[in-house]
Amino acid sequence: MVNAASRVGQDVVPYMVVEGTPAFPVTVNTLGMRRNGVPPEGRSMVKRMFKILFRSGLNMTSAVERIRAELGEGPEVREVLRFIEEPSKRGIARKRQKR
């Protein structure tokens, strides 16, 4: 999900909400997941992935390794990891740019 007046120049990880110029992840789209039938366990996994990917300070490779080690292989985990590991021409929106 993209908040109003955001400029998205990079790919956005599934289930995440981005905002800003340039856009950066700010939270998890829990309402959208609930409306689309993602079970509570799946939503919990996505929240934990968000913290590992965007709040832990790890680089993407280390974050992916940690997710695999800690969260296992649920459908939401597989979808996010598949998205991250596919080659991207634009890169993945990660964090707020310092001005």
41 closest CA partner among 73, 82, 1: 73
Contacts of 76 (CB under 8 A, 6+ apart): 15, 38, 42, 45, 46, 49
CATH 3.30.1300.10 fits 29-85, yes or no: no
* pLDDT at residue 20 in the model: 87
* pLDDT at residue 26 in the model: 93
From residue 33, give the alpha-carbon distance in Å to each of 6, 45, 53: 21, 12, 18
47-65 confidence digits (pLDDT tens): 999 999 999 999 999 999 9
* pLDDT at residue 98 in the model: 54
- Is residue 6 within 8 Å of 16, Cβ to Cβ? no
20 closest CA partner among 98, 96, 99: 96
All structural domains of the chain with their residue ranges: 29-85
- pTM score: 0.86
